[in-house]
Structure formats: C-alpha cells, structure tokens
Amino acid sequence: MSLTDKDKATVKALWSKISKSADAIGADALFRMLTVYPQSKIYFSHWPDLSAGSSSVKAHGKKVMGGIGLAVSKIDDLTKGLLDLSEQHAFQLRVDPANFKLLSHCILVVIGTMFPQDFPPEVHVCVDKFLANVALALSERYR
Amino acid sequence: MVEWTDQERAIINGIFSNLDYDDIGPKALCRCLIVYPWTQRYFGAFGSLHNAEAIKNNQRIADHGITVLHGMDRALKNMDNIKATYAELSVLHSEKLHVDPDNFKLLSDCLTIVVAAKMGAAFTADVQAAFQKFLTVVVSALGRQYH
C-alpha cells in the first residue's frame, strides 16, 4: 500500500499544522503505548520513571517525533531516508516490529484528541498508510 | 473469564452512558470504510460507496453504524460473560455475513479514534486502556465461533 502523491501532500499538510506540538504528541503517544500495551514496557526497563510527564518519557517522545519529522522530509524515499534509523532499531534496539503498529495507533489517537477538526477519515487514511510505510522502512535492515 | 477492576467498569460504563450513538456509530463505520476500503466488501447492497462523500452521506451505512454500536450494549450488560453473550452474533457473522474476523479489530480501532476525538483530553491513557480492553474482549468473542 504505497503512498500516492495525494497521501504525501495530505501528510505534509497535516504535519505543518501539528509539528509545533510534536514534543507533546510524542510524549502522550509513548505514554499511552506503555499504558495500553504494557508489554511494550520491556524495552524501557532501564528507565527509573515510566509515569506520565516523566522526563524519560518526554525526552523519548520528542526523539520519536523527531524521527517522524525526518520521515516526512524523506517521504519520497522512506527506505533510503530512514536507513540509519533502521540499522539502529535492527541491531542495537532490536524492537520487535509488531510494536511499531502499537505506537502508530497511539499516535493516531493523540492526533485525534488534539486535532479532531484536522483529522477526518480522508486524512486518517493517508496518515495510517504513512505510518505503516515508516514502520516498513524501519524494519528494512532487520533480516 | 475476563477480570475487570472497578475502575475499568466505571470508565467503560461512563463512556457508553455519555455516548451519542446516533453520532458516533455512523462516524466509526464510515471511518472504517474510508480508512480500510476493503471492508466495503460487506456493503455491496448498501448503495453508493464510491468515495468518502458518498460513504458519509449514505443513510444505510449511518443506520448500520448505529446498529453495530448498540450491539455493544449487550456486552456492557454482561461484562462478566461477554463470550457467551456474543455466541449467537459470532455464528451470524461467520455463517451468514461471512465477515473476516480481522476486520472487527479495524472497526474497533476506528471507534477508538472517533471516541478519542469526541472526548479530547478526557480520553486519557487509562481511559484508552480500559476502552480498548473492552473492545478487545468484544472482538475476541465475536470471532470465537468461527470454524
């Protein structure tokens, strides 16, 4: 399900509206994932504090959204654009790719709560496809 | 059997008692048909679905969205035995409607996002967790009788 020109334009337009809230979106989405899918906490056993508003969650949420912003800028070739990140996830972090779907869903929920007017179904479908393609690009180097 | 905390029961009942079924039901089903277009396969007899506008204006789809959402009332009233409560509906979806059970999850994800958009900041992580746990149990029960 590759991205059409319309998908890319829609994602870029939405990103321009929401990117100034990227840090907040990232922290909220990450915390939701840890709460709604507790199995995801295994990747963060080294954090002293997994509660809402913790500095670890905030910092990491910001980092994740930085990656999403990078993906938006490399939307025409996600596999190439996210190669370094894929290497990192594949060889160092070794996050099971199933978790990308969980975080993607939480990102969509947060966009829905924070920007309901900007997130009708026609936009949702493009963002869902985009995040799925980001997940695919992140999985590129796994095996 | 699924264990529910008092907090989870309160959250789930709270969401549904404040829900405008006539608004949320159609929105959730429309979103599913637009975001996951292959789910339109079950609605061939419902009239025009050829673009997002047509889907959103389709009264039969809207009515069906309300019906589906009210279908969850049964689970609400029988939270301690959702599996048995949906046995008959599961058979119906399998034998008569021939719905791929993977599609139940797609609709439940869309419902989550529609409810989240309605509730805004009140849809906290804990609320999301309880709501999704409920939907997961419903989805599982609906798929239970497939063979």
* pLDDT higher than threshold 90 for residue B38: yes
Are residues B34 and A32, on separate chains, in Cβ contact within 8 Å?
no
Over range B15-21, report the average pLDDT. 97
Judging contacts by C-beta atoms under 8 Å, the chain A residues touching residue B117 are 112-113, 116, 119
Predicted pLDDT of residue B29: 98
Mutation pick from B24, B27, B35 vs chain A, by most beta carbons of A within 10 Å, is B35
Largest CA distance in chain B: 45
How confident is the prediction along chain A (143 residues), in pLDDT tens digits per residue?
Answer: 999 999 999 999 999 999 999 999 999 999 999 999 999 999 999 999 999 889 999 999 999 999 999 999 999 999 999 999 999 999 999 999 999 999 999 999 999 999 999 999 999 999 999 999 999 999 999 99
Cα separation, A122 vs A133, whole angstroms: 17
Closest residue of chain B to A32, computed from CA coordinates:
B125
Closest residue of chain A to B131, computed from CA coordinates:
A36
Over range B12-17, report the average pLDDT. 98
* Residue A115: strand, helix, or coil: coil
Judging contacts by C-beta atoms under 8 Å, the chain A residues touching residue B56 are 121
Q: Any CB–CB contact under 8 A between A121 and chain B?
A: yes
Predicted pLDDT of residue B1: 81
User: Whole-prediction pTM value?
Assistant: 0.94
The pLDDT tens digits for A76-108 are 999 999 999 999 999 999 999 999 999 999 999
Measured in residues, chain B has a length of 147
Cα separation, A62 vs A65, whole angstroms: 5
